[in-house]
Amino acid sequence: GEDVEQSLFLSVREGDSSVINCTYTDSSSTYLYWYKQEPGAGLQLLTYIFSNMDMKQDQRLTVLLNKKDKHLSLRIADTQTGDSAIYFCAESMDTGGFKTIFGAGTRLFVKA
């Protein structure tokens, strides 16, 4: 089946690291993504990882993938108040056409 799960809320202090976790069920996923949505805005692609990779680092963002456990995480180093947003984990698959399944989103609160 196709399902992506993530915790709904995370609260951190400014300057700390944030870790947002996600689990997915479809082993045929080829790419896994992290999107950010700020209030009143559409989704912005933050980063993605190919399913045969374990880790990807992009400035303050580190993505870890445990394919055996179907677990994906996003670590944001030195979290800032501007990072407050909803973060969506997503998996994509080619099923005779493009399809992306999103998690429910994790709302990140950053306290000054």
Partner 1 sequence: KAGVTQTPRYLIKTRGQQVTLSCSPISGHRSVSWYQQTPGQGLQFLFEYFSETQRNKGNFPGRFSGRQFSNSRSEMNVSTLELGDSALYLCASSPRGVTTDTQYFGPGTRLTVL
Question: Measured from the CB of residue 35, what is the shortest distance to partner 1 in angstroms?
Answer: 8
Which amino acid appears at position 38 of this protein?
E
Residues that bind partner 1 (CB under 8 A): 30-31, 35, 41-45, 48, 88, 90, 92-105
Q: Which is nearer to partner 1, 54 or 94 (CB)?
A: 94
Question: Measured from the CB of residue 103, what is the shortest distance to partner 1 in angstroms?
Answer: 7
**Contact call for residues 51 and 29 (beta carbons, < 8 A):** yes
Residues with Cβ within 8 Å of 5's Cβ and at least 6 positions away in sequence, in order, are: 22, 23, 24, 103, 104
Q: Which is nearer to partner 1, 55 or 104 (CB)?
A: 104
Question: Measured from the CB of residue 50, what is the shortest distance to partner 1 in angstroms?
Answer: 8
Comparing CA positions, the residue from 44, 15, 29, 3 lying closest to residue 94 is 29
